[in-house]
Structure 1
Amino acid sequence: MGNIALINRRNFLKGSAIIGSVVVAGGFWRAAENGVFSTGKGPAYTAWETSPNGLDGLVNAALLAANAHNAQPWLFKLGNSSIELKADTGRNLGPVDPYLREMYISLGCALENLIIAAKENGYSPIITYFPDQQDINYIAKIDLTTMKPLHMELYDAIPKRHMNRGPYDTTRDITQEIIVSLMNLNIDNSEVKLFMFDSQQDKLKIGQAMIEATQTLISDKEQIGVDPKWTRQSWQDIEKYKDGITTDAQGLPTLTRMIAKILPPLSPEQNNQFWLNTLKNKHVATAAAFGFVTVRDPQDYLQVVKAGQLWQRLHLWATTKGLGMQIMNQLSERRDREVSLNLTPVFGEKLREILGTSEWHSIIQFRMGYPTIEALPSPRRPVKDVLVSI
């Protein structure tokens, strides 16, 4: 899932002076037009603030799920007492996701939110995965019968859960109690398994592998070329598309973020260098632990969807505990690229070495820790834009 940072502003030592001069010079209007004062507001963010009644409310909860590059590859069809979840294949990530695994992970995340919201709202969800064997884009049918509402702490976390790309607190470790709790959230460990790594030796090894994978991905013009399609660097684009990667979601300090939104966008080359620098100095350097969500058969889309459900559950639970999480899937993205092009399996071997087994295959890699910067929401398309009638 895309982590491409948007702005490199290491050279803005006079940042506060820039803000002041911009406002004095009449740049207030440019700042307003670029959404400097509208973070998390407007039509692109309404879904985070409201919860419609009935089945629309369940869909609204679903579309707040984690998803790769914030491409939101989902569609929903409402019945009288059912909801169908389908893939919006036009929102695939091409060379970044040649086997559509990240798309199916994203759909699993949406399904998990929907299930949690259904129970909260007095529905007992009965899930039929891939009900039409001839249509792999028909992910699930959720039949709903009434029951007594079941309150879950995870439901309260749905509108609060955001990917935290800021630095984590290096003075606070992840306890074994937390790791055990995360492991216990995996309710289907025959096909999906969580691996956790918190030793200094393991973190150094994983961090170096992630840096190498990122360097290789950046050098691959087709893979890195996917990101501009999903990069929303203007407020106009955010309001128009209501998706994609934004400056607000990059985990930047407030002043840096404001300046970044006022100044002209960086070139793709500058963005890529900033991503790599951020990965080395912030993401890898401050991770308190790394996690790997794995499946037995990465070609089995049912297992991949269930892996997405597990990831959503993990992230929601972490949110209730004040923990930050961030997916960093460069290793599996490079492994899949190697397989699709019949290249030497450099990163496939690195993943096997990290896991210490060839029986499980990682399709999600993430870091976690205690955040030092508040994570901000990403834009979302509203319910009306993701409903279909066929």
Structure 2
Amino acid sequence: MNRKVKKIMIYFLSGIVSIILLCLIVIFVASGIFSKQEYLKPWDKGYSQKFDDPRLKLTAHGILASNSHNMQPWKIKLDNNKDVFYLFVDSERLTKEVDPYARQIMITQGTFLENVKIAGEKLGYKTKIDLFPHGEYDEQNLVESMKEKPVAKITIRKTQPKESVLYDYIFLPDTNRGPYEKTKLNETQVKKLLAINTKSDLVVKLFQDEANINIMGNYAIEGAKIEAGIHRINEETKNIFRSNEYEKNKYRYGYSVEGQGTSGIMKHIMQGIITLVPSINSEKQSANMFIKSTENVVENTSAYVMIISNNNNRVQQVKSGMLYSRLILAAHSEGIVVQPVSQVLEEYSEMEKQYNKIHEQYAPKGSTIQLFIRIGKPKQKFPQSMRSDVMELVRLD
């Protein structure tokens, strides 16, 4: 190869490298790689200490709780009595297509309350939680009723801090959507998880025999396929997807690429590409990805848990959420993680057949499966998701 040809090849390769670098720069800028991740600040253990008001300190822990579609649908009202605050549903954060009766939203109120309770013990505050202190909702006028009536009245009293085996796990991601190891939970783990339930109107059931694993895996996949095929639900999901760091800092709730376990440089590459070419994240593509990821995780799941209530009233929905939050933290303490696969429990017409089938098979007559969860030892760590600033939760009325 003569010198002239070598020079041409060097120029050509240099040009290719320059184009690749330029493309990467454009992608990274579109992703917002240089933006501060304000939406992750609430996960810092020291975050709650910035607040002097103990009610806000506890709220800073509640906001880390597992919640439906990461909508963080919580509002708090600080009472003139500095020992009291109220929890309301943020009725502007309802997901009416996927959760038409707001059952998942009420479960989410419970996860917040349980985090507040556990944090209170650690920080030296005894918490008294009264559910629906102003009466239950008017179901015929639900949204307005949610604005007027609190889910809970929380009364705090200063006391001695207690050591908590669960507190530190509040700061771990609540959901892991990745594959789990194909090992069964041991007897100690099973007993520990089942022992968290002290409520007579709730039941925790854990399954890890092959027959039930196969049946439940099929329910999880079928539920995902049905949900993925409904346009109005896909539109609802699309509207709360945050494609880059700028959007995540602005809105700080909803979905992002981290939800599928993507982090580091790959996160920014995906975010940048989706931002620059939104059609890549089309409804069909997203639906197929959701189904395939569900099939993959089902293949890598060796245990499931159900939380079942005696009936389906609002109080038991909230209590189910409190129990679920404790389940998550107890699981973390054993090095295991969870993911709800509750699509089959959603209450709209297209899911009715599967909803009825799973209830006929696993729920005593008259009872309701509130949560359907896969559980196991993770093969990979999952990143933390967006969280709002505590002051965004405070009602000023």
Matches within 5 A, 1:108-147: 108-133=110-135, 135=137, 137=146, 138-147=150-159
Task: Compute the displacement of 1:75 (Å).
Answer: 0.4
How many residues are treated as equivalent by the alignment?
A: 359
SS in structure 2 at match of 1:196: strand
Q: Which has the larger displacement, 314-323 or 219-228? A: 219-228
Cross-structure match for 1:310: 323
Q: Which has the larger displacement, 121-130 or 25-34? A: 25-34
Letter in 1 for 2:115: N
| 1:30 equivalent among 20, 27, 30 | 27
The TM-score, its normalising length taken from structure 2, stands at 0.85
Q: Residues of 1 paired with 2:19 and 2:374: CA distance?
A: 37
SS in structure 1 at match of 2:64: coil
SS in structure 1 at match of 2:151: strand
Cα 1:323/1:151, change in 2 over 3 Å = same
Task: Compute the displacement of 1:253 (Å).
Answer: 7.0
User: Alpha-carbon deviations, 1:91-121, whole Å to 9, x = none?
Assistant: 1111211110100011100010011111111
Letter in 2 for 1:314: L
Matches within 5 A, 1:180-199: 180-188=191-199, 190-199=200-209
Cross-structure match for 2:39: 44
Letter in 2 for 1:243: Y
Task: Compute the displacement of 1:85 (Å).
Answer: 0.6
Q: Residues of 1 paired with 2:368 and 2:210: CA distance?
A: 23
Q: Which has the larger displacement, 220-229 or 90-99? A: 220-229
Cross-structure match for 2:170: 158
Cross-structure match for 1:375: 382
SS in structure 1 at match of 2:152: strand
Task: Compute the displacement of 1:147 (Å).
Answer: 1.2
Contact 2:27/2:273 (8 A) holds in 1: no
Task: Compute the displacement of 1:354 (Å).
Answer: 3.6
User: Which structure 2 residue ranges, 5 or more long, are not aligned?
Assistant: 1-16, 138-144
Higher CA-based Rg:
2
| 2:309 equivalent among 295, 311, 318 | 295
Q: Name the one with the larger helix percent.
A: 2
The yes-or-no answer on 1:284 pairing with 2:331 is no
Cross-structure match for 1:106: 108
The yes-or-no answer on 1:85 pairing with 2:96 is no
Task: Compute the displacement of 1:122 (Å).
Answer: 1.1
Could you say what the CA RMSD is over the residues aligned between the two structures, in angstroms? 2.1
Q: Residues of 1 paired with 2:34 and 2:217: CA distance?
A: 35
Contact 2:338/2:375 (8 A) holds in 1: yes
Task: Compute the displacement of 1:30 (Å).
Answer: 3.1
Letter in 1 for 2:194: M
Cα 1:249/1:22, change in 2 over 3 Å = farther
Letter in 2 for 1:182: L
Q: Which has the larger displacement, 135-144 or 146-155? A: 135-144
User: Which structure 1 residue ranges, 5 or more long, are not aligned?
Assistant: 1-19
SS in structure 1 at match of 2:171: coil
Cross-structure match for 1:222: 232
Q: Residues of 1 paired with 2:19 and 2:223: CA distance?
A: 39
User: Alpha-carbon deviations, 1:281-319, whole Å to 9, x = none?
Assistant: 2x2111121111111111x10000000000000001111
SS in structure 1 at match of 2:166: helix
The yes-or-no answer on 1:178 pairing with 2:180 is no
Q: Residues of 2 paired with 1:268 and 1:168: CA distance?
A: 27
| 2:220 equivalent among 203, 210, 230 | 210
Cα 1:175/1:131, change in 2 over 3 Å = same
Task: Compute the displacement of 1:35 (Å).
Answer: 4.1
Task: Compute the displacement of 1:389 (Å).
Answer: 2.9
SS in structure 1 at match of 2:370: strand
Cross-structure match for 2:5: none
Cross-structure match for 1:148: 160
Task: Compute the displacement of 1:44 (Å).
Answer: 1.0
Q: Residues of 2 paired with 1:179 and 1:226: CA distance?
A: 37
Letter in 1 for 2:388: R
SS in structure 2 at match of 1:97: coil
Contact 1:22/1:28 (8 A) holds in 2: no
Contact 2:192/2:330 (8 A) holds in 1: no
Contact 2:31/2:272 (8 A) holds in 1: yes
Runs of 4+ in 1 over 6 A off after TM superposition: 20-23
Letter in 1 for 2:269: I
Cross-structure match for 2:140: none
Cross-structure match for 2:290: 275
Q: Residues of 1 paired with 2:221 and 2:285: CA distance?
A: 17
Task: Compute the displacement of 1:258 (Å).
Answer: 4.4
Contact 2:263/2:383 (8 A) holds in 1: no
Cross-structure match for 1:332: 345
Contact 1:253/1:373 (8 A) holds in 2: no
Q: Which has the larger displacement, 144-153 or 238-247? A: 144-153
Q: Residues of 2 paired with 1:147 and 1:163: CA distance?
A: 32
Identity %, equivalent residues? 26
Matches within 5 A, 1:345-384: 345-355=352-362, 357-384=364-391
Letter in 1 for 2:355: G
Letter in 2 for 1:158: I
